Amino acid sequence: MAHAELPVPTFSSLEPVYGDGSPLEEAELRFQILKAKFAEVFNADPQVYARSPGRVNLIGEHIDYEGYSVLPMAIRQDTIVAIRKAGTEEPKVLRIANVNDKYTMCTYPADPNQVYNPRTASRAWMPSA
């Protein structure tokens, strides 16, 4: 079965993801902070959260796409995001904010009918080389 065919796991609580004890308490605090910041910035609660676990490559960084062996390992750090679909009367944009105020909010057009042209597209979202 290809990865694209696997179902995305969904949970209604944090315990199955983080276990119990201090990892769970830490995660609950992070999600509470994220929810509060989201409400402050976007004047609404998130509709869904998504999480991406952290990973490091012990060997093989940047060679896995060349077909060579790698040794990835999951780590405790993760990235969590809060998401809300805009209402029908709101502009079609993607707004990205961070709980840390040192990062400014970024806004990008989100027109589903827009044709992407890599020759003319803005590279503001890409890291510098």
Q: Domain range for residue 27? A: 3-85
Q: Where are the alpha helices (DSSP H) in the chain?
A: 15-18, 22-42
Summarize the confidence of residues 66-82 as an average pLDDT: 85
Number of domains in the chain: 1
pTM of structure = 0.73
Judge whether 96 and 106 are in contact, CB under 8 Å: yes
Please give the pLDDT value at position 4: 67
Any idea which of 1-5, 58-62, 78-82, 84-88 has the lowest mean pLDDT?
A: 1-5
Please give the pLDDT value at position 62: 67
Indicate which CATH number applies to the domain containing 17.
3.30.230.10
Instruction: Look at residue 44 and tell me if it is in a domain.
Output: yes
Percent of the chain topping pLDDT 70: 85
At 17, the pLDDT band (50, 70, 90 cuts) reads very high
Please give the pLDDT value at position 100: 94
Instruction: Look at residue 105 and tell me if it is in a domain.
Output: no
Instruction: Look at residue 100 and tell me if it is in a domain.
Output: no
31-48 confidence digits (pLDDT tens): 999 999 999 999 999 999
Instruction: Look at residue 101 and tell me if it is in a domain.
Output: no
Instruction: Look at residue 75 and tell me if it is in a domain.
Output: yes
